[in-house]
């Protein structure tokens, strides 16, 4: 078994993907808000879009980092041997 090390470049790629998805969501929200009769301050809109984009980048970072750390873990608790673990319908009475 080859032990994988933590890859910072994969995390950076995940952040970039998260930021791209955040930009797409922010653009969708911008178009949606512009086509409503609501009057919203431009500064608040920009801060809102910045929050959406930053949050999605942070989500990409967290998901990839957690995935890599879980892959590296030697503790058997982090190994999922049962594919049906955690499903609600699979419990026997």
Query: Residue 49: how many CA atoms within 13 Å on its side-chain side?
Result: 19
Sign of CA dihedral 16, 17, 18, 19: positive
Tell me the whole-structure pTM to 2 decimals. 0.72
Domain ranges of the chain: 9-72
Question: pLDDT (tens digit, 9 = 90+) per residue, 4-53?
Answer: 788 888 999 999 999 999 999 999 999 999 999 988 899 999 999 999 99
- Is the distance from CB of 14 to CB of 63 less than 8 angstroms? yes
Residue 91 CA, distance from chain mean position: 30
Of 62 and 92, the one with more pLDDT: 62
């Amino acid at each position: 078994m080859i032990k994988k090390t933590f890859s910072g470049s994969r995390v950076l790629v995940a952040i970039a993907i998260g930021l791209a998805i955040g930009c797409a969501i922010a653009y969708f929200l911008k178009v949606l808000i512009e086509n409503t009769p609501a009057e919203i301050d431009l500064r608040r809109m920009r801060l809102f879009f910045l929050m959406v984009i930053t949050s999605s980048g942070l989500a990409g970072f967290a998901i990839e980092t957690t995935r890599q750390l879980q892959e590296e873990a030697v503790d058997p608790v982090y190994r999922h041997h049962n594919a049906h673990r955690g499903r609600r319908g699979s419990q026997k009475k």
